[in-house]
Amino acid sequence: MEKISPSNFLETAKPYFAMITLQFGYAGMNIISKVSLSRGMSHYVLVVYRHAFATAAIAPFALFLERKDQPRITFKLFMQIFVLALLGPVIDQNFYYAGLKYTSPTFSCAISNVLPAMTFVMALIFGMEKLNLKKVRCQAKIVGTIVTVAGAMVMTLYKGPILEMVWSKHIHPRKSYTTDITGHKDYFKGSMLVITATLAWSGLFVLQTHTLKTYKNHQLSLTSLMCFVGTLQAIAVTFVVEHKPSVWKIGFDMNLLSAAYAGIVTSSISYYVQGLVIKKRGPVFATAFSPLMMIIVAIMGSFILAEKIFLGTVIGAILIVIGLYSVLWGKHKESIENKDEDLQDAIKGAQVNGDAISIMEDMEANEIEMGKGKGNKLSSMSMPMKASQDTMA
């Protein structure tokens, strides 16, 4: 039985540890941001400050570690970065924060779990995924996508009764920071905003996979450019939407903590780590751990924010998780098949090379034999000459 060395285990486990750690970071961002938004902070301003902090945090590392051989920024590459910034910092986060304001952290995180299904569909449209209905793995991905979308629809259209957590009966906070989403209009509006944000996020994953081919050795630089361009775009959007200068005011309070935490942890660090994981394992794998964030947020939200959890949220979340892992199972089987195909191609190549080598060895052996034959003839001719010389002597 083959033993797994510690170095191989750590190398294999790195993407898993990275994505699990990111989920804890995202969970904390959801809780802190919910508090800031409930206190009246504009989500447009929060996005601006978030990416300003992100740029300031990661740009020095990019300048210091990746100064050499920077990719030349062509117009096409600039447009890719521009769209990445528009999808992530501007559209995704503004819509997500707006949806978070109308709903709750657990609800928003649960809806966000449709991300792998959306990413799979987008990757299929752009030719990054191949579909063969005869194979079980492809059927699993299709069924998983349908179940995930069904779960999102259940969460959006059905609330149901409130579920009381065991520990929530013993917690009586002075103030709850969660929104009372008993109104169907706000509930549906918040759902649509979060779904739109998730759609933009999946577009970010797909496009980032393509852009990383250019920035394969400069992920920090790409992250810095995304955050910087996103900051400029967010400032422009905020000036158009928010007309009061007072919205820009920020002090040493929860608003500052929310912007700094979101910028440093869930923008600069997460974009960079996310890019590394996408490069190593692909965009679908990078979205596989979002249910963990939902569980963490549900527990933290009920403890810290006295969040109300509805039956529809739980049912929809269960369906989404089942669909999610159906998609991931299909993706896992696909990766195994691809590895087997690569191995077979390598073996075939080795066989071809082996035949060529054996032919060359046979030719060399023939040459040696011919050389030996010539040597024998020369030696047999020289022996009588030597004998006659001895006789003459």
The parent domain of residue 260 ranges over 6-327
Residue 207 makes CB contacts below 8 A (sequence gap 6+) with 80, 83, 84, 87
| Mean pLDDT along residues 8-37 | 85
pLDDT above 60 (res 149): yes
Q: Taking phi first (over 0 means left), then psi (-120 to 50 degrees means alpha), and beta for anything else, what does residue 289 get?
A: alpha
Cβ–Cβ under 8 Å, residues 54 and 267: yes
Residues 103 and 124: their CA atoms lie apart, in Å, by 31
| Mean pLDDT along residues 236-248 | 91
The verdict on residue 200 lying in a domain is: yes
The tally of domains found in the chain comes to: 1
* Torsional sign, CA 215, 218, 220, 221: negative
pLDDT reported for residue 107: 81
pLDDT reported for residue 1: 44
The verdict on residue 371 lying in a domain is: no
pLDDT reported for residue 133: 79
pLDDT reported for residue 2: 46
Burial 290-329 (b: 16+ CB within 10 A, else e): bbbbbbbbbebbbebbbbbbbebbbebbebbbebbbbbbe
Lowest mean pLDDT segment, chosen from 139-148, 190-199, 221-230, 291-300: 291-300
The verdict on residue 362 lying in a domain is: no
pLDDT above 90 (res 336): no
The verdict on residue 168 lying in a domain is: yes
The verdict on residue 34 lying in a domain is: yes
pLDDT reported for residue 283: 67
Residues 301 and 308: their CA atoms lie apart, in Å, by 9
Helix (H) or strand (E) holding 210: helix 184-211
Q: Can you give the pTM of this predicted structure?
A: 0.72
pLDDT above 80 (res 193): yes
The verdict on residue 40 lying in a domain is: yes
The verdict on residue 108 lying in a domain is: yes
For residue 178, the 8-state DSSP code is S
Structure tokens at 349: 């190549």
The verdict on residue 387 lying in a domain is: no
